[in-house]
Amino acid sequence: MDPLRERMERLYPLCRSLTGDGVRESLAILAETVPLELRTAASGTPVFDWTVPPEWNARAARITDAATGRVLVDLADHTLHLVSYSVPFRGRLSRAELEPHLHSLPDRPDWIPYRTSYYARDWGFCLTQRQRDALGEGPFDVDVDTSLAPGELTYGELLVPGASVEAGEVLVTSHLCHPSLANDNLTGLTVAVELARRLAERPHRLGYRFVFAPGTIGSLVWLRDHPDVLPRLRHVLVLTGLGGGGPLVYKRSRPGDAPLDLAAAHVLRHRGGRLIDYAPYGYDERQFNALGFGLPAGRLTRTPHGEYPEYHTSADDLGFVTDEELYDALAAIEEIFGVLEGEATYRALQPYGEPQLGRRGLYPAVGGRTASEASMAMLWLLACSDGGTSVREIADRAGLPFALLRRAADDLVGAELLAPV
Amino acid sequence: MDPLRERMERLYPLCRSLTGDGVRESLAILAETVPLELRTAASGTPVFDWTVPPEWNARAARITDAATGRVLVDLADHTLHLVSYSVPFRGRLSRAELEPHLHSLPDRPDWIPYRTSYYARDWGFCLTQRQRDALGEGPFDVDVDTSLAPGELTYGELLVPGASVEAGEVLVTSHLCHPSLANDNLTGLTVAVELARRLAERPHRLGYRFVFAPGTIGSLVWLRDHPDVLPRLRHVLVLTGLGGGGPLVYKRSRPGDAPLDLAAAHVLRHRGGRLIDYAPYGYDERQFNALGFGLPAGRLTRTPHGEYPEYHTSADDLGFVTDEELYDALAAIEEIFGVLEGEATYRALQPYGEPQLGRRGLYPAVGGRTASEASMAMLWLLACSDGGTSVREIADRAGLPFALLRRAADDLVGAELLAPV
Amino acid sequence: MDPLRERMERLYPLCRSLTGDGVRESLAILAETVPLELRTAASGTPVFDWTVPPEWNARAARITDAATGRVLVDLADHTLHLVSYSVPFRGRLSRAELEPHLHSLPDRPDWIPYRTSYYARDWGFCLTQRQRDALGEGPFDVDVDTSLAPGELTYGELLVPGASVEAGEVLVTSHLCHPSLANDNLTGLTVAVELARRLAERPHRLGYRFVFAPGTIGSLVWLRDHPDVLPRLRHVLVLTGLGGGGPLVYKRSRPGDAPLDLAAAHVLRHRGGRLIDYAPYGYDERQFNALGFGLPAGRLTRTPHGEYPEYHTSADDLGFVTDEELYDALAAIEEIFGVLEGEATYRALQPYGEPQLGRRGLYPAVGGRTASEASMAMLWLLACSDGGTSVREIADRAGLPFALLRRAADDLVGAELLAPV
Tell me the angle at which helices C187-200 and C3-11 cross, rounded to the nearest 10 degrees.
140
Proportion of chain A above pLDDT 70, given as a percent = 98
Is the CB of B122 less than 8 angstroms away from the CB of C352? Answer: no
| Closest by Cα among A379, A352, A351 to C223 | A352
A308 touches chain C (CB under 8 A): no
| Closest by Cα among B343, B351, B354 to B396 | B343
User: What span, in angstroms and rounded, lies between the C-alpha atoms of A326 and A190?
Assistant: 8
pLDDT exceeds 80 at position B364: no
pLDDT digits (tens, 9 = 90+) for B225-258: 999 999 999 999 999 999 999 999 999 999 999 9
User: What span, in angstroms and rounded, lies between the C-alpha atoms of B269 and B265?
Assistant: 6
What does the angle CA A74 – CA A75 – CA A78 come to, to the nearest 5 degrees? 105
Neighbouring C-beta atoms of residue A74, cutoff 10 Å: 16
User: What span, in angstroms and rounded, lies between the C-alpha atoms of C29 and C16?
Assistant: 13
Neighbouring C-beta atoms of residue B373, cutoff 10 Å: 12
Is the CB of C368 less than 8 angstroms away from the CB of B286? Answer: no
Proportion of chain A above pLDDT 90, given as a percent = 93
pLDDT digits (tens, 9 = 90+) for B86-132: 999 999 999 999 999 999 999 999 999 999 999 889 999 999 999 99
What does the angle CA C128 – CA C131 – CA C135 come to, to the nearest 5 degrees? 145
**What are the two backbone dihedrals, phi and then psi, of residue B183, each rounded to the nearest 5 degrees?**
-70, -40
pLDDT digits (tens, 9 = 90+) for A199-244: 999 999 999 999 999 999 999 999 999 999 999 999 999 999 999 9
Is the CB of A383 less than 8 angstroms away from the CB of C280? Answer: yes
Chain B: closest CA distance from residue A384 (Å): 34
| Per-residue pLDDT band at A361 (split at 50, 70, 90) | confident
Chain C: closest CA distance from residue B228 (Å): 16
Out of C124, C223, C280, closest to residue A382 by CB: C280
Q: How many CA atoms lie within 13 A of A286 on its CB side?
A: 21
Mean pLDDT of all residues in C224-243? 97
Q: In what order do the strands lie in the sheet with C345-348?
A: C386-390, C345-348, C418-420
Is the CB of B350 less than 8 angstroms away from the CB of A117? Answer: no
Question: Three-state SS for B384?
Answer: helix
Please report the pLDDT score of residue C70 as a whole number: 96
Residues 6+ apart with CB under 8 A from C185: C174, C175, C176, C178, C240, C241
Note the ipTM here: 0.92
What does the angle CA A77 – CA A81 – CA A84 come to, to the nearest 5 degrees? 130
Contact list, B307 vs chain C (CB under 8 Å): none
Q: Which residue of C has its CA nearest to B178?
A: C368
Q: Which residue of C has its CA nearest to B293?
A: C352
Is the CB of A289 less than 8 angstroms away from the CB of B350? Answer: no
Mean pLDDT of all residues in A280-302? 96
A32 exposure class (CB count in 10 Å sphere: 0-12, 13-18, 19+): exposed
pLDDT exceeds 70 at position C368: no
Mean pLDDT of chain B: 96
Please report the pLDDT score of residue A45 as a whole number: 98
Contact C52, C118 (CB under 8 A): no
Using CA atoms, how far residue A20 sits from A26, A85, A148, A187, C264, in Å, is 10, 10, 10, 21, 69
| Closest by Cα among A170, A215, A216 to A195 | A170
Please report the pLDDT score of residue C306 as a whole number: 63
User: What span, in angstroms and rounded, lies between the C-alpha atoms of A364 and A387?
Assistant: 27
Please report the pLDDT score of residue C304 as a whole number: 65
pLDDT digits (tens, 9 = 90+) for B120-164: 899 999 999 999 999 999 899 999 999 999 999 999 999 999 998
Proportion of chain C above pLDDT 90, given as a percent = 93
Single pTM value for the model = 0.92
Please report the pLDDT score of residue B304 as a whole number: 65
Please report the pLDDT score of residue C119 as a whole number: 83
Please report the pLDDT score of residue B367 as a whole number: 64
Hey, of A87, A281, A283, A312, which one would you mutate to test binding to chain B, going by the most B CBs within 10 A of its CB?
Answer: A281
Neighbouring C-beta atoms of residue C333, cutoff 10 Å: 23
pLDDT exceeds 80 at position C369: no
Mean pLDDT of all residues in C230-253? 96
Beta strands in B96-168 (DSSP E): 102-103, 125-126, 140-149, 152-160
Contact list, A350 vs chain C (CB under 8 Å): 48-49, 292
Q: Which amino acid is at B16?
A: R
Chain C: closest CA distance from residue B312 (Å): 7
Neighbouring C-beta atoms of residue B267, cutoff 10 Å: 24
Please report the pLDDT score of residue B307 as a whole number: 78
Please report the pLDDT score of residue A149 as a whole number: 97
Out of A348, A359, A371, closest to residue C291 by CB: A348
| Per-residue pLDDT band at A306 (split at 50, 70, 90) | low
Question: Three-state SS for C300?
Answer: strand
C17 touches chain A (CB under 8 A): no
The better pLDDT of the pair B207, A305 is held by: B207
Please report the pLDDT score of residue C366 as a whole number: 60
Residues 6+ apart with CB under 8 A from A228: none
| Per-residue pLDDT band at C317 (split at 50, 70, 90) | very high
Mean pLDDT of chain C: 96
Contact A418, A351 (CB under 8 A): no
Out of A365, A371, A376, closest to residue C120 by CB: A365
C185 exposure class (CB count in 10 Å sphere: 0-12, 13-18, 19+): buried
Mean pLDDT of all residues in A382-398? 98
Please report the pLDDT score of residue A119 as a whole number: 83
Mean pLDDT of all residues in B177-206? 97
What does the angle CA C268 – CA C271 – CA C277 come to, to the nearest 5 degrees? 20
| Per-residue pLDDT band at A367 (split at 50, 70, 90) | low
- Chains with ≥3 CB–CB distances under 8 Å to B: A, C
Please report the pLDDT score of residue C359 as a whole number: 86
